[in-house]
Amino acid sequence: MLTSKQRSHLKSIAANLQPVGQLGKGGMSENMLRSFSDALEARELIKINVLTNAEEDARSLGDELAARLSAECVAVIGRKVILYRRSSRKNFEHIEF
């Protein structure tokens, strides 16, 4: 669980990130989840766009994504979801809090 200071720090880093993917009408496929998981492993912090034709709202999709990816939903701002998961890679410059 992230503290409010950690969450704020991650949001400030994510402000400059480009979204790595989009969620829309099709929902979440296994390939999409795998690519998001790979992106989290490589970057630790990712941003995802939720399209207007998505069947659920961005908050519920963000929570579901976080649960399925074993990540933390840092924030949902408008139609953007920010996810964080600490990378298990060695010799990697982790995000410091």
CATH number of the domain that 44 lies in?
Answer: 3.30.110.60
**Band (97; pLDDT cuts 50, 70, 90):** confident
Quote the CA–CA distance of 24 and 52 in Å, as a whole number.
Answer: 7
Quote the domain boundaries for residue 66.
4-84
Close Cβ partners of 32 (under 8 Å, ≥ 6 residues apart): 21, 23
Output the pTM of the full model: 0.94
Is 90 exceeded by the pLDDT of residue 44?
A: yes
Would you say residue 90 lies in a domain? no
Q: 25-60 in b/e burial notation, b at 16+ Cβ within 10 A?
A: eeeeeeebeeebbebbeeebbbbbbbeeebeeebee
Number of structural domains (the chain) is 1
- The values of phi and psi at residue 6, to 5°, are -65, -45
Q: What is the pLDDT of residues 7-41, one digit of tens each?
A: 999 999 999 999 999 999 988 999 999 999 999 99
19, 48 Cβ separation under 8 angstroms? yes
